[in-house]
Homo-oligomer: A and B are copies of this chain.
């Protein structure tokens, strides 16, 4: 038996560095795999910030301008401004090369082909070429988790395919002859944990407790980045996983100082990690929350800061734990009290309605009063 910390440490050896491209519209929440360096200026031209008239500042000793053109956003006309001439420019429009000032329309009056300027204003109202993003500028650093604002930057650069770290694929297998009679809970809960950790679950289906069948299924699954099984790791006649994992690759650890989840097994097959969870539904869920997020998030290049946030609550009853074992006590929070929900590791309602887990450390045997609840 090893401690939870040692088991986690062993799983820390696995990493993944596969990159791919996703369409910009699908890049939200993905992890950028390269620095993004702009190869254009944004804006790519001197752009008007206002509806108004573009003029040459040096002509502003006069107050009357001859209107010689009209530029709307998107227009790409070639308007040349001479002395005392102006062009209509809409917000977002390209400014004629010679102009260096836009006079807001509300400060002017148009009389025939002439524009009278009442008040030139204090600002030029021009976004100069490159003032948003300069060509050659590093706009996003690799490893950032792409958010909506980052997507705005990538869109402004015209990037349609974004280099990201690939999501680890996680094959999920449930073992056990009983699974044609009872419902397969573990594949579903493990898949949910995989998804919320940032992995892509692949359902491999269920397999009966027959060595050749299980071996074949696991061999198929070993093309994915992580293999997860549930069931078959205790000491019963049909608990074949320790033998199978050892024959197909090697066992990294078997039995962990934790409750529930003590039979937990992990190994390596074709350089891929295989995590074999207990078949009992609540043990499986607890092991899923303890062992899957760290390995999946590391492989996805996402940060892992432990389970969800921590809340403080008062235990509604004292909880005991065996010395040397780390106990994961599911609790439901009601009015500042943490009510233990655990009834037995084979019962889904032991954790089904829990909001969080009270972790009782190996050296503690009794916990009461105020506790920290790791939110699930």
Contact = CB atoms under 8 A, between A and B. Distances in A.
Interface string A71-93: 01111100000000000001111
Contact of A236 (B91, B154, B352): B91
A158 B179 CA distance: 12
A92 B28 contact: no
A347 B49 CA distance: 10
A119 interface: no
Contacts of A234: 51, 91
Contacts of A90: 236-238
Contacts of A376: 147-149
Contact of A158 (B43, B92, B183, B235): B183
Interface residues of A, number: 77
A143 interface: no
A178 interface: yes
A346 B49 contact: yes
Contacts of A180: 74
A189 B346 CA distance: 46
Number of copies: 2
A193 B149 CA distance: 9
A348 B147 contact: no
A142 interface: no
Contacts of A312: none
Nearest to A351: B149
A31 to B, nearest CB: 15
Interface in A171-199: 176-185, 187-189, 191-193, 195-196
Interface stretch (A127-135, A221-229, A254-262, A359-367): A127-135
Interface string A314-355: 000000000000000000000000000001101111011110
B42 A348 contact: yes
Interface string A113-152: 0000000000000010001110000010000000111111
B176 A73 contact: yes
A67 interface: no
Contact of A346 (B75, B127, B349): B127
A371 interface: no
B347 A151 contact: no
Interface string A17-49: 000000011001000000000000011100101
Interface string A268-281: 00000000000111
A147 B192 contact: yes
A190 B47 CA distance: 23
B185 A152 contact: yes
A236 B209 CA distance: 73
A151 B192 contact: yes
B72 A238 contact: yes
Nearest to A154: B188
Contact of A183 (B51, B156, B176, B182): B156
20 contacts: A28-B196, A72-B209, A73-B176, A73-B178, A74-B178, A91-B280, A127-B346, A133-B349, A148-B285, A148-B376, A149-B351, A149-B352, A149-B353, A149-B376, A151-B189, A151-B192, A152-B285, A155-B188, A155-B348, A156-B183
Given A51-B237, A155-B189, 5 more contacts: A149-B348, A151-B188, A152-B348, A154-B188, A157-B183
Q: Which 6 A-B pairs have the closest CB atoms?
A: A74-B178, A74-B177, A148-B192, A73-B178, A155-B188, A132-B347
